[in-house]
Copies of this chain bind each other. A is one copy, B any other.
Amino acid sequence: MENTPIKYTFKDFQSDQEVRWCPGCDDYVILRSIQKALPETGVKKEDVVFISGIGCSSRFPYYMDTYGMHSIHGRAAAIATGTKLANPNLSVWVASGDGDSMAIGGNHFIHVLRRNVDINYVLFNNEIYGLTKGQFSPTSLLGQKTKTSPYGNTQPPFNPGELAIGARARFFARLGGNVPKDMTQVFIEAEKFKGTSLVEILQNCVIFNDGCYTKYTDKAVKDEMQIHLEHGKPMIFGKEKNKGLILKGLKLEVVNIGENGITESDILVHDAKEPDMTLHSMLVRMEYPLATGVIRSVEEPSFGERERELVNRVTDSSRFKTVDDLFFSGETYEVK
Interfacial residues, chain A to chain B (CB-CB below 8 A): 104, 106-107, 110-111, 114-116, 138, 142, 151-152, 154-159, 162-168, 247, 249-251, 276-279, 281-282, 300, 303, 306-307, 309-310, 313-314
Contact = CB atoms under 8 A, between A and B. Distances in A.
A314 B151 contact: yes
Given A106-B106, A281-B278, A158 B163 contact: no
A48 B278 CA distance: 39
B114 A138 contact: yes
13 contacts: A104-B107, A107-B107, A115-B155, A115-B156, A116-B156, A158-B167, A162-B168, A164-B166, A165-B166, A166-B166, A250-B278, A251-B278, A277-B281
Contacts of A277: 281
A324 B309 CA distance: 69
Given A106-B107, A278-B250, A282-B278, A163 B155 contact: no
A155 B303 contact: yes
A309 B138 CA distance: 20
B278 A154 contact: no
A303 B157 CA distance: 12
Given A106-B111, A155-B303, A163-B167, 13 more contacts: A106-B106, A106-B110, A110-B163, A111-B138, A151-B310, A154-B306, A154-B309, A155-B306, A165-B166, A166-B167, A247-B249, A247-B250, A251-B278
Contacts of A115: 155-156
Contacts of A110: 106, 110, 158, 163
